[in-house]
A and B are shown apart, each in its own frame.
Chain A
Amino acid sequence: MSEVAIGPSTSDKVWTLPSRGFVGMACLILAEAAIFVIFVVAYIFYIGKSLTGPTPKEVLDLPILTTICLLSSSLTVHASVSALRQSKTRLCSLWLAATVLLGGIFLLGTAHEWYGLIYKHGLTIKTNLFGTTFYSLVGLHATHVVVGLILLSLALLFSVRGEMKEHHSEKLEVLSLYWHFVDGVWVVVFLVVYVLGR
């Protein structure tokens, strides 16, 4: 038999369960966090242990501008979700565009920083333990930023073409969760690399 008549519903409450998108994204964030934690641990473990080469103090400047941009982009993406919830699709596109722009500035700033590190200070991933752990950790984060920007650009594209509607707001919110995670990781990276490590 393929039917189970297991009595009438004994409860008057409506049977609601969390959304799959949120739970799935939370799981993904947990798994990614585990990867980042290991790179952060490696970074902290190797602070001060480089045998040669430039030290963080000598070559690192606080990336204030890029950090402000990236963290503000969390606000803008949140605003885009709110706008979509209220069916204000044009506003949503605007905020999404701002998010992509701010994220892009972050990436450009990182590229500029790396250019200086490599060509002015001669610091590469091969140079010493600091170079190894710095480029791998910041690079891993930057990769996640790139992925996020690609997804956000896609969302922007759909939004601009008028294909994103109010009932998509949950999907957009799930995406924004990923973006918040990326920003959260940056806070940790910033503290560990640019504050603690110097």
Chain B
Amino acid sequence: MATQTPVIEVHNQTAQTPRRLWLEVLHDWVTTVDHKKIGLMYIGYALVFLVIAGFEALLMRVQLAIPNNHFVSPEVFNGLFTMHGTTMVFFVGMPILFGFGNYLIPLMIGARDMAFPRLNAFSFWISAFAGILLYFSYVGGSGLDGAGSALDVGWFAYAPLTARVFSPGHSTDYWTLSLLLTGVGSIGTALNIVATIICMRCPGMKMSRLPLLPWIYLVMSGLTFVAIGPLTAAQIMLMLDRYVGSHFFDTQAGGSAVLWMHFFWIFGHPEVYILVLPAFAFANEIIPVFSRKAIFGYPAMVAASVGIGFISLGVWAHHMFTVGLGPGENTFFTLATMIISVPTGIKIFNWLATLWGGKIQFTTSMMFAVGFLFQFLIAGLTGIMLSAAPFDWQLGNSYFVVAHFHYVLVGAILFMIFSAFYYWYPKMTGRMLSEKLGKWHFWLFVIGFHLTFDFMHVPGLLGMPRRIYTYEADRGWMIWNLIISSGAVFQTVATLLFVYNMVWSYFRGPIAGPDPWDAWTLEWSVSSPPPSYNFAEIPTVASRRPLWDLKHPEDPDSDYEMGPVHPEETQKEGA
């Protein structure tokens, strides 16, 4: 056959010049503009930083296990919590979520790539560089007391602690510069996501037929535009203060420390919604498939997501209840924060209703999604507690808050990320992850998560503030801290198991095929992994679940397109 000769030639080439092939592969990845490769690079990059930041957390937990411990010095500890927070938010959370979005969105909307492939690559590389710059601070920066170490001003870098006079070294500068750069990358990716979803949908895919994952990424990207700007602006102001002598946050010249807080949290609160919305997006795809039912209330889900996006722009000062804004502002932000619970609750109820009447398959992916449901419920409820300003006057800046937001970040977001891994890894690599290892990963992680973060609420109630490198023995906090620290060990083991699973399965996992889960969105219509061009022929769709229509031609979704319908009218048997 005519095609065999080239194959033999390639093999000969490989045998003779393995080094050249390796370089070619590297060159291919470094210069790629393919959204799938870029997505994978984002994800791989985030996983590396997840391990690093997790290690930082482990060190902190060892230090805090007993009172007046001397495992690390105060300077090192303060650097650890700053780096842990900054890394997790900007170099784990954002990249991993942008990575999944990058990979999946074009596939889900029937496109061949993102709208601006070169911008896509640029955004990745600038963010990657920013992460390296941040960690270079361990080598290059000097901390609060001139001790050669990294950032130590907290991930939120309050003024005036960051002023030259209180932070004479360069730790603040590394924080500012690396975040400025990654902010540029985030805006670039968000721009790409919006342009792709709006301008590159395949024929027939009206916005009302868009799968929920791209819908939510649309909201998340809109939030990115509006939220990153304030951070960038505040950081420019901070750098001007530090280097040019301006007075934005210089209280000696009439500047305001509170203004920094406003600007930071105008960024900071939407940022956490930027992080959590993709978790909702994953849940919206995964829960229906493993319940064998369409998502309940698609229009409400879209409306709730958009609503959450908008309201999240108006709640920022609930991080400032103790700053002395006055009862009027405290009341307003209490109300706004409580209101956001309504669309959030709607989402939880819609997921419940999707499960109701379904045929639930407890794959590892689904188990993580179930964990997400319980834990996100709890996280939302502790959030309601904190939204009541007087309650926050006690619990704000305490370990109760740390427990709350880790419940969201780990219990909800990370759990859904794990779920997304088990669900889409087959599509990305062509192999299934081991379900056996997956179940071990799940149970170990659940035990560790609850040991750490359930009990973490207690020291907060007992008066333990956050960001302290040690604590007094007479406060009664020790037993709780011991338990919390023990949970960290379980989580570490579970995560290592997960990494091992990914590596092992890549070589030995069962072949996945294009559609191992019998799912309904377009990415499952192409091979696993997809060809570089995604679709040989751009598809045309007629409903929200094009593959359901294909698999159930006698009863396609396209017959039921007009929004929520009375249940009796839609009762039907599957094929």
A125 and B243 alpha carbons, distance in the complex (Å): 11
Please determine whether B225 and A34 come into contact, CB atoms closer than 8 angstroms: yes
Interface membership of B549, Cβ < 8 A: yes
Write the nearest CB–CB distance from B573 to chain A, whole angstroms: 22
Interface membership of A132, Cβ < 8 A: yes
Please determine whether B198 and A31 come into contact, CB atoms closer than 8 angstroms: no
The listed residue (B201, B229, B246, B530) touching A31 by CB distance below 8 A is: B229
Interface membership of B230, Cβ < 8 A: yes
Interface membership of A186, Cβ < 8 A: no
Please determine whether A3 and B535 come into contact, CB atoms closer than 8 angstroms: yes
Interface membership of A42, Cβ < 8 A: yes
Interface membership of A28, Cβ < 8 A: yes
Contacts of B536 in A (CB 8 A): 2-3
The main secondary structure of chain B at its interface with chain A is helix
Please determine whether B198 and A17 come into contact, CB atoms closer than 8 angstroms: yes
The listed residue (A6, A10, A39) touching B539 by CB distance below 8 A is: A6
A36 and B232 alpha carbons, distance in the complex (Å): 10
Contact with B along A14-36 (1 / 0, CB 8 A): 01011110011001101111111
Contact with B along A150-180 (1 / 0, CB 8 A): 0000000000000000000000000000000
A9 and B230 alpha carbons, distance in the complex (Å): 45
Please determine whether A7 and B245 come into contact, CB atoms closer than 8 angstroms: no
A20 and B192 alpha carbons, distance in the complex (Å): 9
Interface membership of B540, Cβ < 8 A: yes
Please determine whether B255 and A30 come into contact, CB atoms closer than 8 angstroms: no
Interface membership of B488, Cβ < 8 A: no
The listed residue (B115, B221, B229, B546) touching A20 by CB distance below 8 A is: B115
Please determine whether A42 and B229 come into contact, CB atoms closer than 8 angstroms: no
Interface membership of B190, Cβ < 8 A: yes
A27 and B200 alpha carbons, distance in the complex (Å): 16
Please determine whether A4 and B522 come into contact, CB atoms closer than 8 angstroms: yes
Interface size class of A (residues with CB under 8 A): 35 or more
Write the nearest CB–CB distance from B482 to chain A, whole angstroms: 44
Candidate in B195, B204, B221, B541 with the most chain A CB atoms within 10 angstroms:
B195
Interface membership of A37, Cβ < 8 A: yes
| Beta-carbon contacts under 8 Å, B461-486 to A | none
The listed residue (A20, A37, A129, A133) touching B116 by CB distance below 8 A is: A20
Please determine whether B247 and A128 come into contact, CB atoms closer than 8 angstroms: yes
Please determine whether B253 and A51 come into contact, CB atoms closer than 8 angstroms: yes
Interface membership of A126, Cβ < 8 A: yes
Contact with A along B520-543 (1 / 0, CB 8 A): 001001110011000111011110
Interface membership of B381, Cβ < 8 A: no
Contacts of B240 in A (CB 8 A): 125, 132, 136
Please determine whether A6 and B537 come into contact, CB atoms closer than 8 angstroms: no
Please determine whether A2 and B531 come into contact, CB atoms closer than 8 angstroms: yes
A7 and B200 alpha carbons, distance in the complex (Å): 20
Interface membership of B38, Cβ < 8 A: no
Contact with A along B232-270 (1 / 0, CB 8 A): 111011001000111110000111100100010010000
Write the nearest CB–CB distance from B96 to chain A, whole angstroms: 22
Are A34 and B204 also in contact (CB < 8 A) when A50-B254, A132-B247, A136-B246 are? no
A3 and B222 alpha carbons, distance in the complex (Å): 32
Contacts of A119 in B (CB 8 A): none
- In the complex formed, the residue of A with least CB distance to B514 is A1
Write the nearest CB–CB distance from B201 to chain A, whole angstroms: 6
| Beta-carbon contacts under 8 Å, B76-127 to A | 115-116
Please determine whether B248 and A35 come into contact, CB atoms closer than 8 angstroms: no
Please determine whether A4 and B247 come into contact, CB atoms closer than 8 angstroms: no
Interface membership of B447, Cβ < 8 A: no
Please determine whether A51 and B550 come into contact, CB atoms closer than 8 angstroms: no
Are A132 and B248 also in contact (CB < 8 A) when A10-B204, A28-B191, A38-B233 are? yes
Are A2 and B535 also in contact (CB < 8 A) when A34-B228, A49-B254 are? yes
A23 and B197 alpha carbons, distance in the complex (Å): 10
Please determine whether B540 and A38 come into contact, CB atoms closer than 8 angstroms: no
| Beta-carbon contacts under 8 Å, A45-67 to B | 45-46, 49-51
The listed residue (A4, A27, A33) touching B550 by CB distance below 8 A is: A4
Write the nearest CB–CB distance from B205 to chain A, whole angstroms: 9
Contacts of B259 in A (CB 8 A): 42, 45
The listed residue (B191, B204, B537) touching A27 by CB distance below 8 A is: B191
Please determine whether B195 and A27 come into contact, CB atoms closer than 8 angstroms: yes
Candidate in A6, A27, A32, A125 with the most chain B CB atoms within 10 angstroms:
A6
Interface membership of B295, Cβ < 8 A: no
A125 and B542 alpha carbons, distance in the complex (Å): 59
A10 and B187 alpha carbons, distance in the complex (Å): 37
Interface membership of B352, Cβ < 8 A: no
The listed residue (A11, A18, A33) touching B199 by CB distance below 8 A is: A18
Please determine whether B542 and A24 come into contact, CB atoms closer than 8 angstroms: no
Interface membership of B227, Cβ < 8 A: yes
Please determine whether A23 and B527 come into contact, CB atoms closer than 8 angstroms: no
Please determine whether B227 and A34 come into contact, CB atoms closer than 8 angstroms: yes
Contacts of B247 in A (CB 8 A): 126, 128-129, 132
| Beta-carbon contacts under 8 Å, A105-128 to B | 125-126, 128
Write the nearest CB–CB distance from B559 to chain A, whole angstroms: 12
Interface membership of B226, Cβ < 8 A: yes
Contacts of A7 in B (CB 8 A): 540, 542, 549
Write the nearest CB–CB distance from B63 to chain A, whole angstroms: 37
A31 and B232 alpha carbons, distance in the complex (Å): 10
Contact with A along B181-193 (1 / 0, CB 8 A): 0000001001110
Please determine whether A9 and B195 come into contact, CB atoms closer than 8 angstroms: no
Please determine whether B526 and A42 come into contact, CB atoms closer than 8 angstroms: no
Please determine whether B191 and A126 come into contact, CB atoms closer than 8 angstroms: no
Contacts of B140 in A (CB 8 A): none
A128 and B255 alpha carbons, distance in the complex (Å): 9
Interface membership of B274, Cβ < 8 A: no
Interface membership of B203, Cβ < 8 A: yes
Contacts of B236 in A (CB 8 A): 136, 140
Please determine whether B229 and A38 come into contact, CB atoms closer than 8 angstroms: yes
Contacts of A1 in B (CB 8 A): 514, 525-527
Interface membership of B159, Cβ < 8 A: no
Please determine whether A23 and B253 come into contact, CB atoms closer than 8 angstroms: no
Please determine whether B526 and A30 come into contact, CB atoms closer than 8 angstroms: no
Please determine whether B198 and A129 come into contact, CB atoms closer than 8 angstroms: no
Contacts of B527 in A (CB 8 A): 1-2
Contacts of A23 in B (CB 8 A): 115, 194-195, 198-199
Please determine whether B246 and A6 come into contact, CB atoms closer than 8 angstroms: no
Q: List 19 A-B contacts (CB under 8 A).
A: A3-B535, A3-B536, A4-B537, A4-B547, A4-B550, A6-B549, A18-B198, A20-B116, A27-B221, A30-B225, A34-B225, A35-B230, A35-B233, A36-B233, A42-B233, A126-B245, A132-B240, A132-B246, A133-B248
5 more CB-based (< 8 A) A-B contacts, given A9-B540, A129-B254, A132-B248: A18-B198, A20-B116, A34-B229, A36-B233, A135-B246
Closest 5 CB pairs of A and B: A34-B229, A38-B233, A126-B245, A4-B539, A15-B203
Residues of A that sit less than 8 Å from B by CB: 1-11, 15, 17-20, 23-24, 27-28, 30-39, 42, 45-46, 49-51, 125-126, 128-129, 131-133, 135-136, 140
